[in-house]
A and B are shown apart, each in its own frame.
Chain A
Amino acid sequence: MCKRSPTFKARVQGELACFTRPEFKVERVSYEVITPAAARGILEAIMWKPAISWVIEKIHVLAPIRFVSFRRNEVTSRASVDNILQAMQGRPMAHYYAGAGSDKCAQRNTVALRDVDYAIEAHFVSTTRWGPDDNMPKFIDMFRRRLEKGQTFHQPYLGCREFAAKVEPGSEVIFSRLPEEQRNKYLGWMLHDLDFNPPIRPKFFEAQLTNGYITIPLFEPTSNVSKGSEGGHL
């Protein structure tokens, strides 16, 4: 039987955020609001165990949606696993110079969000790795405590790791600074989350802002991709 926690509310804020659209991932363009996947990431930074999995229910948008764009020099290659294993074994690691102007870097434009403010409503459920020692009230307490104290496994971030998030417990009454005309908007297809059953595939849902919040549908991580309007044909 699947156990679930009560719904928690977390207030997430930040000066810069970039929830990168998959279709514009090289020259990054952000979605207008936080994706459920990113929200999950923030909650997991606060608390996660293999026994639980987070389910995002609602996202409240509390600040006007504003974009800002800038360019940065970023590296073009990935870290080499071999090099790191070498270093772990105490052998000297090859140096990696990727400064601006080197052939290992590229200048990438980013269209990010500024001054974001969200209230995330979510709960967690037990997974197939829930063991006999796992105890729901214990986890609930653990999460509440950690959220209150600001304890995290790693710094929560807003889309990209360099955009740190400030996370606090959410209050019962939320005051939104979103202007009237922006409270009801169709946002198009947004990234819902990633289906990690191999092969890894992104899943999307239609996001609709009503009265300043988005209701997130339940994520169904089946890799039953052939189910669809014209699966397989144009």
Chain B
Amino acid sequence: MILRALKDLADREGLLKNPDYEPVSVGYLVKVGKEGRFLGFISNKETVQGKKGKKLNVKKFLVPVRSSRTSQDWPEFLVDKGEYVFGWPVDEKDGKKIKRAKKRHMLFGDLAGKAYEDTSHDEGIGAVLDLLQKHESGTLNITKPEGWHNEDLFGFIYDRDVDLLVSSRPSVSSYWAGIRFFRVQMVLPEEAVVAQCAASGEVGQTIRLHPAVKGIPPIADTKGGVPLTSINADAFESYELKALSCVPISPKIADGYGKALERLLSPAYPSPIDGSPMPKRNVRLSNDTIVVYWSKEESEFLNFFSDAVEANPEAVEAVYESAWKGRHVPLDNPTAFYALTLSGAQGRATIRGWFESTVKDVAANVRQHFEDLKIVYPSNADGQLSPLKRLLRSTVSSKVDNPDKQIHPNLAKDMFEAIVKGYPYPRIILDAVIRRTCAEQGNERQNVTPERAALIKAFLVRGKRFNQVPNNIPEVKIMLDKECNSTAYRLGRLFAVLERLQKVATGANTTIRNRYYGSASATPVVVFAQLLRKAPHHLAKRDDAPFYEKLIQEILSPLTPKNAFPSTLTLEEQGVFALGYYHQRQDLFPSSTKTTKQEG
């Protein structure tokens, strides 16, 4: 369904308007007059003053789609490098290169010659052929244009035509449309494999080379574009089918999905109708993973989706069905929603995940995700909606140079899938967050950050929804829950109170959190006895001792001596401990809570 869905998108958005031509930088245009008169070169190169110095801009023209030629002798149609067009070798002194240039020039000429025949002697091509003949026979000496580089392309323009390359003349372009498939795929008509397409079911010629998809991260590794499939080792073949006959795909599907992916991966793909940038349809999940998404029919929700995942507040509001700038975004659209997770490495695009649902369900799930993440924030926190990136960064040390590289590779993808599917978060995230809170206990700054607390809360809430956390885990709320009797929660609260007591009593900068948080969380029995023993000393120093005494009393009251301090806490319980600690801290600090109005 994947390729089919992509092809349908290409059809719907009109991306396949002009499949035979593409915009490419052409260095020079060769003006050709009647009977092959050489009227000179037009240079399309321009040096402009850029921000970082001089930049070379080469004008782009619509030329016949380029083939996937690498080192083979394979001429392009009517627009090619100097080596093919004029037979100028890349190295004048190398005998082999001179021979190669001759051969390539001949191939170029032959291809043009055939076109001349088959277009019933199109004038433009005729003139080009005459010119080439004069050049070969030596009657005409064409010197290399100034600033020529052997990678520069030459296009031809027939003197009567204005703004029309020979390769775009009407009779030429319909001829080219007929042979394009073979030239781009680099097969001779007799060689093309006829089979049934795996995606459309049509029987016909199948492609030999898949479109190279550009824009899959890591961009450095996928510069020239990577195909979705390439059979480049023996073990990848089967049933005696060689190379890509193992993967029969028709040219229509290939064009469709190639263009669709190009559009989805690009940040601002120019619309085929008017050239204006089309809305973004991808979310970069991590260093090497990107997810592209689209829907079967156009849906306004998609315009918000990326921003919603990135937690742009306005976009999130839109997901909550509130009027956004007076517009109501329809969120109950039952049309299909598709998301494809891609990663580029090893010279091909890897599909890491494929997800099919409806816009309605995805909108509801995104809303649920933000609902689950809601937690009381300290008053100086900059925002309560955390983008996925920020949440993921909270799972790694804040001190590293490149935090994105440290994030567990599958975590971004798994979290994204959990969000759109409405599933519980992957357990890795709980593990990572708890580990970080224990590792960062010694830091000056708070170890249980709002993001981490929010993640823990959301993890537990979602886990409980699917019965995936043990029964003793309580319903965790947005802010301090004084009624909660969970031992882990109360211990976390106790730890916060004791820490605060120590701080106000001694004024020390390093508190029990710096030394004991980790062990208090993992093995309460070892630590709490010690901590409680110190409490009376702190209380004696304070006038507001009764307040703390009462609080400690209240926290400990539902716990019996036998179960008050367990020897260990499970990972989920440690999460509850962290939440108890966090909630209590927010409650103890005077100017806390932005969300006092929300249900506790």
B2: A residues at CB distance < 8 A: 21, 24, 29
Q: Are B350 and A109 in contact (CB under 8 A)?
A: yes
Min Cβ gap B414→A in Å is 9
B4: A residues at CB distance < 8 A: 188-189
Q: Which of A78, A188, A232, A234 contacts B234 (CB 8 A)?
A: A78
How far is it, in angstroms, between the C-alpha of A204 and the C-alpha of B248 when the chains are bound? 11
| Contact digits for A188-211, partner B, Cβ 8 Å, 1 yes 0 no | 110100100001111111100000
Q: Are B194 and A191 in contact (CB under 8 A)?
A: no
How far is it, in angstroms, between the C-alpha of A23 and the C-alpha of B251 when the chains are bound? 13
- Counting CB contacts under 8 A, is B568 at the interface? no
A102: B residues at CB distance < 8 A: none
Q: Are A26 and B230 in contact (CB under 8 A)?
A: yes
Which residues in chain B, 407-458, are within 8 Å of chain A measured between CB atoms?
410, 413
Q: Are A189 and B354 in contact (CB under 8 A)?
A: no
How far is it, in angstroms, between the C-alpha of A32 and the C-alpha of B195 when the chains are bound? 23
How far is it, in angstroms, between the C-alpha of A194 and the C-alpha of B195 when the chains are bound? 12
- Counting CB contacts under 8 A, is A6 at the interface? no
How far is it, in angstroms, between the C-alpha of A78 and the C-alpha of B240 when the chains are bound? 12
Q: Are B202 and A228 in contact (CB under 8 A)?
A: yes
Interface residues on A, range: 35 or more
Q: Are A106 and B233 in contact (CB under 8 A)?
A: yes
How far is it, in angstroms, between the C-alpha of A39 and the C-alpha of B239 when the chains are bound? 18
- Counting CB contacts under 8 A, is B235 at the interface? yes
| Contact digits for A8-30, partner B, Cβ 8 Å, 1 yes 0 no | 00000000000001111111010
Which residues in chain B, 324-348, are within 8 Å of chain A measured between CB atoms?
343, 346, 348
| Contact digits for B232-265, partner A, Cβ 8 Å, 1 yes 0 no | 0111101111000011110110000000000000
Which residues in chain B, 170-221, are within 8 Å of chain A measured between CB atoms?
178, 181, 194-205
Q: Which of A67-75, A121-129, A132-140 contacts B (4 or more CB under 8 A)?
A: A67-75
How far is it, in angstroms, between the C-alpha of A106 and the C-alpha of B195 when the chains are bound? 29
Q: Are B246 and A21 in contact (CB under 8 A)?
A: no
Q: A232-B204, A233-B204 are in contact. Are A76 and B198 (CB under 8 A)?
A: no
Q: Which of B196, B199, B351 contacts A225 (CB 8 A)?
A: B196
B48: A residues at CB distance < 8 A: none
How many residues on the B side are at the interface (Cβ–Cβ under 8 A)?
48
Q: A67-B354, A78-B234, A187-B1 are in contact. Are A25 and B229 (CB under 8 A)?
A: yes
Q: Are A25 and B236 in contact (CB under 8 A)?
A: yes
A26: B residues at CB distance < 8 A: 229-231, 236, 348
Q: Are A229 and B204 in contact (CB under 8 A)?
A: yes
Q: Are B195 and A200 in contact (CB under 8 A)?
A: no
Q: Are B351 and A23 in contact (CB under 8 A)?
A: no
- Counting CB contacts under 8 A, is B473 at the interface? no
Min Cβ gap B52→A in Å is 38
Q: Are B3 and A27 in contact (CB under 8 A)?
A: no
B248: A residues at CB distance < 8 A: 22, 201-202
Q: Are A194 and B239 in contact (CB under 8 A)?
A: yes
Min Cβ gap B263→A in Å is 20
Q: Are B181 and A23 in contact (CB under 8 A)?
A: no
Q: Are B203 and A22 in contact (CB under 8 A)?
A: no
How far is it, in angstroms, between the C-alpha of A188 and the C-alpha of B296 when the chains are bound? 14
Q: Are A23 and B204 in contact (CB under 8 A)?
A: no
B230: A residues at CB distance < 8 A: 26
A201: B residues at CB distance < 8 A: 195-196, 248
Q: Which of B199, B205, B233 contacts A234 (CB 8 A)?
A: B205
- Counting CB contacts under 8 A, is A141 at the interface? no
Q: Are A23 and B354 in contact (CB under 8 A)?
A: no
A194: B residues at CB distance < 8 A: 239
Q: Are A27 and B205 in contact (CB under 8 A)?
A: no
- Counting CB contacts under 8 A, is B353 at the interface? yes
How far is it, in angstroms, between the C-alpha of A205 and the C-alpha of B2 when the chains are bound? 16
- Counting CB contacts under 8 A, is A83 at the interface? no
- Counting CB contacts under 8 A, is A107 at the interface? yes
Q: Are B247 and A109 in contact (CB under 8 A)?
A: no
Q: Are B229 and A24 in contact (CB under 8 A)?
A: yes
Most chain B CB within 10 A, of A106, A187, A205, A228, is at A228
Q: A25-B229, A27-B350, A200-B239 are in contact. Are A229 and B195 (CB under 8 A)?
A: no
- Counting CB contacts under 8 A, is A230 at the interface? yes
Q: A67-B353, A76-B233, A234-B251 are in contact. Are A25 and B246 (CB under 8 A)?
A: yes
Nearest chain-B residue to A192 (Cβ)?
A: B196
How far is it, in angstroms, between the C-alpha of A13 and the C-alpha of B241 when the chains are bound? 31
B390: A residues at CB distance < 8 A: none
- Counting CB contacts under 8 A, is A89 at the interface? no
| Contact digits for A61-99, partner B, Cβ 8 Å, 1 yes 0 no | 000000101000011111000000000000000000000
Q: Which of A29, A77, A206 contacts B235 (CB 8 A)?
A: A77
26 residue pairs from A and B, CB less than 8 Å apart: A22-B246, A22-B248, A26-B230, A67-B353, A69-B353, A76-B236, A107-B346, A109-B352, A111-B351, A111-B354, A188-B1, A188-B4, A189-B197, A189-B201, A200-B239, A201-B196, A204-B197, A204-B198, A205-B201, A225-B203, A226-B203, A228-B202, A229-B204, A230-B202, A231-B204, A232-B194
